[in-house]
Amino acid sequence: MNLSQHIKAPFYRIIGEEAEKLGIEVYAIGGFVRDILLERKNDDVDFVTNGKGIELAKACAKALGIKKVDIFKTYGTAHFKYHNLDLEFVGARKESYREHSRNPEVSPGTLEDDQRRRDFTVNALAISLQKNNFGDVIDPFDGIGDLEKKILRTPLNPDITFSDDPLRMMRAVRFSNQLGFKIADESWQAIKQNADRLKIVSMERIITEVNKIVMCDKPSIGFDLLFKTGLLHQFFPEMVRLHGVEKKNGIAHKDNFYHTIQVLDNLCVMSDKLWLRWSAIMHDIAKPPTKRFEEGAGWTFHGHEDLGARMVPKIFSRLKLPLDHQMKYVQKMVLLHLRPIALTKEEISDSAIRRLLFEAGDDIDDLMLLCKADITSKNEAKVKRYLANYEIVKQKLIELEEKDRIRNFQPPVTGEHIMETFGIGPGREVGIIKNAIKDAILDGIIHNAYQEAFDFMLAEGDKLGLKPKSSDQ
Ligand code: ATP
Ligand code: MG
């Protein structure tokens, strides 16, 4: 097979010529080649040479008029940007790994050595940039055959490939999900066998793969594979605990693992926000620890939204996910995820809607998407009823927001105002009055407007025995 039609840009020939000048060979390799054959966009091009990767990168950058080259001496790699492409150069390597470490002992090798140490045959394809066979695909492990069959297979015995770098097991699941490929049987068995080796891999590398799964069109596929291989158990036991169904007095609850990944899929159709997707993953995370069987009521999960929100920081911290506004956002989503639907169970009061708007703030639209995704009953009539109620809540939210602007609620009377009016310092009373004003607005007793809030403040102050400064004088 020859792919020269796909590498027509002049810089590929120039890179080949620079290698020739240095007396070495160069190949484009890996995901870039795979993605040409799959017609996927890929702006990262990896080049491998037999030795002298850094030297070649410098020579190529010079020939292409690029000044800035990033050099990673310890890895023997170099990188520079060329137009919108990331070009990465590496000397071909032979690797062997030590038992308890991810850090390989690396020694120079041939192109084939380098292909052999790659994760999957479909990721081990190389394109020659030499003049005499420019564009020829070098495929010693039948990666092209596997690409056609849509199979992920390791170039070596999978036990060796996976135990050398256990992250490759995560990559197998990620590629399977992303590309719609099947993991070959022997590789599948090897993953199940080696799953606990994932422990030696840093959480940062693991979570990078997880997030790529989360960003797939249908992440349930990836999470199901993570569960079935035992990989999920190594880093996210709380999610594993969602799995399973218990039955008592003939009453079963739903399997919350499959429910969760269904919610995630539903949400993915509506939004590609990573942290909203994480909210779906986390929304029922506290169902197992809050599960009870109550005579008459059946299975209950009281307070799972509250406990779930409290579990988020610890889980995010362990998973090395960001702990600032992203984590707070997920916490808020988990805490509020039942609220919109709970509203539909009773007469929907304006006050309840205002409170929801106040608490969700600008994230109200995301919260509503999560709620919609959360409607997964097998009972069609139930789904229909929930969806109808959901639409009513949504409509009311729009109407009230237009009227009262609660979403970005700023109290019309501030704490300073209160202190100044009554001539008092900071203290308990200020908080009480402030809260009373907020509640009065949310409950519709007064409007979200200065004069009404001011009068209300005077009345509340009076109840506490406070008199406005001016009337004292
Ligand atoms: P994507 O860019 O979508 O993540 P990719 O296949 O390009 O997919 P990269 O992480 O960019 O993946 O790596 C480029 C290539 O390097 C891969 O195609 C593969 O050949 C090789 N590679 C990357 N990580 C590993 C690994 N852990 N073990 C073996 N080979 C790897
Ligand atoms: Mg890549």
Q: In whole angstroms, what is the distance from residue 388 CA to residue 382 CA?
A: 10
For the segment 21-48, the average pLDDT, to the nearest whole number, is: 95
Which of the four pLDDT bands, split at 50, 70 and 90, describes residue 378?
confident
For the segment 391-395, the average pLDDT, to the nearest whole number, is: 87
382 pLDDT higher than 90: no
Measure 119 CA to ligand 1 centroid, in angstroms: 7
For residue 352, the model assigns a pLDDT of 83
For residue 473, the model assigns a pLDDT of 43
Bigger pLDDT: 64 or 473? 64
Measure 131 CA to ligand 1 centroid, in angstroms: 27
For residue 102, the model assigns a pLDDT of 57
Same fold, 1-149 and 150-235: no
150-235 topology per CATH? Hydrophobic Seed Protein (1.10.110)
Ligand 1, atom 1, lies closest to the CA of 31
Ligand 1, atom 9, lies closest to the CA of 31
For residue 204, the model assigns a pLDDT of 96
Which tokens in the block code for residue 360? 């969700």
Measure 30 CA to ligand 1 centroid, in angstroms: 7
Q: In whole angstroms, what is the distance from residue 209 CA to residue 226 CA?
A: 11
DSSP state of 121: G
For residue 410, the model assigns a pLDDT of 77
Only one residue has tokens 């990188």, namely: 79
Note the pLDDT tens digit of each residue in 143-160. 999 999 999 999 999 999
Note the pLDDT tens digit of each residue in 5-17. 999 999 999 999 9
- List ligand 1's pocket residues with C-beta within 6 A: 30-31, 44, 46, 118-119, 123-124, 165, 167-168
Say which ligand is closest to the CA of 212. 1
Ligand 1, atom 5, lies closest to the CA of 31
Q: In whole angstroms, what is the distance from residue 189 CA to residue 115 CA?
A: 23
Measure 31 CA to ligand 2 centroid, in angstroms: 5
Measure 208 CA to ligand 1 centroid, in angstroms: 12
Query: How crowded is the C-beta side of 329, counted as CA atoms within 13 Å?
Result: 20
CB 267 within 8 A of CB 281: no
Ligand 1, atom 22, lies closest to the CA of 118
Q: Is 107 helix (H, G, I), strand (E, B) or coil?
A: strand
Ligand 1, atom 13, lies closest to the CA of 31
For residue 332, the model assigns a pLDDT of 96
Q: Average pLDDT of the chain? A: 91
For the segment 305-326, the average pLDDT, to the nearest whole number, is: 96
Note the pLDDT tens digit of each residue in 97-119. 555 555 656 677 889 999 999 99
For residue 386, the model assigns a pLDDT of 85
Q: What share of the chain is helix, strand, coil (3-state, %, to 5)?
A: 55, 10, 30
For the segment 166-187, the average pLDDT, to the nearest whole number, is: 97
Say which ligand is closest to the CA of 114. 1
Measure 47 CA to ligand 1 centroid, in angstroms: 12
Ligand 1, atom 6, lies closest to the CA of 31
Which tokens in the block code for residue 278? 């994480």
Pocket test for ligand 1, best of 33, 111, 113, 118 (most atoms within 8 A of CB): 118
Of the listed ranges 50-59, 124-133, 177-186, 209-218, the least confidently predicted one is 50-59
Residue ranges covered by each domain of the chain: 1-149, 150-235, 267-404, 415-472
For residue 472, the model assigns a pLDDT of 47
Ligand 1, atom 16, lies closest to the CA of 30
**Among 281, 275, 240, which Cα is nearest to 262's?**
281
Measure 31 CA to ligand 1 centroid, in angstroms: 6
Q: Is 2 left (phi over 0), alpha (psi -120 to 50) or beta?
A: beta
For residue 224, the model assigns a pLDDT of 98
Note the pLDDT tens digit of each residue in 401-458. 887 777 777 778 888 889 999 888 898 989 899 889 988 888 888 888 889 889 999 9
Which of the four pLDDT bands, split at 50, 70 and 90, describes residue 348?
confident
Only one residue has tokens 């770098």, namely: 165
CATH class (in words) of the domain with range 1-149: alpha beta
Q: Is 326 helix (H, G, I), strand (E, B) or coil?
A: helix
Residues in the chain: 473
Note the pLDDT tens digit of each residue in 63-101. 999 999 999 988 889 999 999 999 999 988 886 555 555
